Amino acid sequence: MNITKNIKSIAARVLINEAQALEKIAGFIDTDFEKCVMHILNSSGRVVVTGVGKSAIIANKIVATFNSTGTPALFMHAADAVHGDLGMVQPDDLVICISKSGNTPEIKVLTPLLKRRGAKLVALVSNVNSHLALQADFVLNATIDAEACPNNLAPTTSTTAHMAIGDALAVCLQELRNFSSEDFARFHPGGSLGKQLYLKVEDIYPNHALPVVSPETPIKDVILEISSKRLGATAVVEANNKLAGIITDGDIRRMLQHHSNLAELKAKDVMSIKPKTIGKSEFATRALEVMQQGNISQLVVVDDEVVVGFVHLHDLLKEGIV
């Protein structure tokens, strides 16, 4: 028996099973789904997501997705709800109950209590004829043919389907609210993801001394300026720090190939005119895009055409942007 081949075939079967299930439930998106989205969008209350077992884990993930995309949400474990946590549910709230069977004992106990609280009830189920579905105001159909588990017991495909429906709800609400990347950044200030969304060029360039020369600066002094500031380049500026050009390490090397008498050369004889620039208020990710498009490793930072600094590819690497 080829054990490796068997592992690959099992893994492929699981993924195909779950992919086919998701394709199928896409066809179950109906008016109940639309009404559920619109109710959440127009409600002043919160979304409470509940479940037991594996469904509780999926509920936690859906809550996290809602909160990060602009829909306030809370998790409530169905078993804990009947021991005091039901107090978190307010009449204006909408409660999404997740259950594959829709007939879980804890859910059966919980549904009439939720109705008495006045909250709207959403059934996210794989059995539309279940107790939960029949009691719900909105039914989100996540019916599957079979679990990926060979015994058709362990929640696998069903939990994937429930999580995908949660994602679909969250993204619908995100788009209807015009929830932008700037909004997303406010909720994700940490880690490399957060930096991609909020870090700006003006947060980076002050870390470096500004290498700058005038067009009349002798080449010897240009080389010293580039070497001392350690950015591999210097800006060439006119009066009032207006950008005239740039001289990079590469420009110096090319100059040495074509000129034997360096004493008479000045910055204006070597500089590249119209260099790539970036505004100081631009996002760092935009600086990376410009560098990649131009195949360069540094950008002159400008503020209303005035040179204020440099941002280097190494800065972006250090910040985790690349």
* Residue 37 within a domain: yes
For the segment 239-289, what is each residue's pLDDT rounded down to a tens digit? 888 999 999 988 888 888 877 777 778 999 889 888 999 999 998 989 999
Whether 150 and 226 map to the same domain: the answer is no
Mark which of 121, 145, 179 sits at the end of a domain. 179
Angle at 42 between CA 37 and CA 47, to 5 degrees: 60
pLDDT at 322: 66
For the segment 158-197, what is each residue's pLDDT rounded down to a tens digit? 999 999 999 999 999 999 999 887 777 777 666 666 677 7
Q: What is the DSSP letter of 271?
A: P
Q: For the chain, how many structural domains are there in total?
A: 2
**Domain limits at 213?**
201-318
Whether 165 and 217 map to the same domain: the answer is no
Q: Which stretch of 90-104, 142-156, 266-280 has the lowest confidence by average pLDDT?
A: 266-280
Q: Which stretch of 88-92, 146-150, 195-199, 235-239 has the lowest confidence by average pLDDT?
A: 195-199
Half-sphere exposure of 142 (CA within 13 A, CB side): 30
- The CATH code of the domain that includes 108 is 3.40.50.10490
pLDDT band at 88 (very low <50, low <70, confident <90, very high): very high
Statement: residue 27 has pLDDT above 60:
yes
Q: Which residues pair with 51 in a beta bridge?
A: 77
> Of 117, 125, 50, which Cα lies nearest the Cα of 90?
117
Residue type, 102: G
Cβ–Cβ under 8 Å, residues 316 and 287: yes
Helices marked H in 43-180 — which ranges?
54-68, 78-81, 105-117, 131-135, 157-176
Measured distance CA(135)–CA(47) in Å, rounded: 18
Map residue 313 onto helix, strand or coil: helix
Cβ–Cβ under 8 Å, residues 56 and 78: yes
Q: In Å, how far from its chain's centre is CA 151?
A: 36
Whether 258 and 162 map to the same domain: the answer is no
- Which residue do the tokens 């009947």 mark? 82
Statement: residue 4 has pLDDT above 70:
no
Q: What is the mean pLDDT of residues 232-239?
A: 91
Q: Quote the tokens at residue 121.
A: 């009830």
Whether 78 and 224 map to the same domain: the answer is no
Whether 167 and 213 map to the same domain: the answer is no
Mean pLDDT of the chain: 91
Statement: residue 1 has pLDDT above 60:
no
For the segment 187-234, what is each residue's pLDDT rounded down to a tens digit? 766 666 667 777 899 999 998 899 999 999 999 999 999 999 989 999
pLDDT at 318: 86
Whole-prediction pTM: 0.70
